[in-house]
Structure 1
């Protein structure tokens, strides 16, 4: 009973902070809460690539000789990476568009793990666009933060 009450409270808080996050397929209240805790505040990450690196879903070059490829990033914030992994599992199982995306990546010669890495990166990009206000630079965010501190 207590777990349901806590999940309802988490859902209420997520709806308050980022309601559009719950519109993404595979993102439930717990996953959204983990994303928001990891995100912290607008302007924390200078770009989508920085957020992807923090999440551990940025590609790492692993080329050798004539072979040009990327491997899975094993660093980053593991809890956020796990939340993204949960979203990829749900989407791969339920979403026809995601199934087509993964099949296309595998037809390009990628392994299933590489296709999953690409899918995580795509989801990370979608989350970044939802959470980061458009046309907002890091300098503007820092200025806003400084103004808030001055008001205190």
Structure 2
């Protein structure tokens, strides 16, 4: 099926519940020499052909707790983006505000400017431009405050859910609730990926060989799940700041003549392997415990 995470989600869940094997296929390629014709029937045939010849079929993510995490992450992400846009809007308003207002806000940090805008009151003796600018600043600051609180509440919900699903994941160095949640959403369930290499490729964390002659190097993969890639990248950046072993590895690679990006690519591959094996092992332990409980 194509689009199991959007329009095909309901059908995919129904078929999975009925015991059918469902696999995800990418958008079928339309041959240019045939004019790129498109109908639902043609797309279905192309998707089926791609699935038949592919050795790397991906199973759709499961619903339940995983889907709950996904919608929380999406909602928090939207709130963070909207908050960033509101902050940029506030800065633009301050830049073009009347000098009397700019003087009051000049030299303050971003948080201090937001707090000042929240308490701004327009004087009736001021001109219409001044009064309306004060109103716009106050409304924008209130929006920032609301979105900040919303993002924090959603992060708390995400943290609680991740802690219930995979507490060992949060115990890893550099893994916060948001990164852990994205890893769980992308991994979904045991058996979705045949190996840690397949998971790393899905994350875009498997370096692509780009060697030539006497030069041995790898280039960055831009394929795969970019949200998962971002989570893995964030984990690496945090470890590079706080983990002595990671910092020693980067220093070692630098001494060998490798760039920091080359070291990061290797570290991202190692992180992908680590989190995949941890989740698969945790799922296997849970399944064994469940079987023993039912046997008793």
TM-score bracket for the superposition, by shorter chain length = 0.7 to 0.9
Question: Any stretches of 5+ residues in structure 2 without a counterpart?
Answer: 1-148, 285-296
Deviation, 1:66, is: 2.0
Deviation, 1:16, is: 1.2
Deviation, 1:73, is: 1.2
Compare 43-52 and 67-76 and name the one that shifted more: 67-76
Aligned to 1:61: 209
User: How many Å separate the matches in 2 of 1:3 and 1:47?
Assistant: 34
Size of the aligned set, in residue pairs, is 135
Alignment equivalent of 2:252, drawn from 104, 108, 117? 104
User: How many Å separate the matches in 2 of 1:132 and 1:57?
Assistant: 18
Whose Rg is larger? 2
Deviation, 1:20, is: 0.5
Deviation, 1:60, is: 0.8
Question: Any stretches of 5+ residues in structure 1 without a counterpart?
Answer: 137-152
SS for the counterpart of 2:281 is coil
The answer to which structure, 1 or 2, has the higher relative contact order (CA under 8 A, 6+ apart) is 1
Matches within 5 A, 1:1-150: 1-133=149-281
User: How many Å separate the matches in 2 of 1:72 and 1:115?
Assistant: 11
SS for the counterpart of 1:133 is helix
SS for the counterpart of 2:213 is coil
TM-score, length basis structure 1:
0.83
TM-score, length basis structure 2:
0.44
**Aligned-residue CA RMSD (Å):** 1.4
Aligned to 1:150: none
Aligned to 2:39: none
SS for the counterpart of 1:132 is helix
Which runs of structure 1 show a deviation greater than 6 angstroms over 4 or more consecutive aligned residues?
A: none
User: How many Å separate the matches in 2 of 1:61 and 1:100?
Assistant: 24
Aligned to 2:29: none
User: How many Å separate the matches in 2 of 1:26 and 1:96?
Assistant: 12
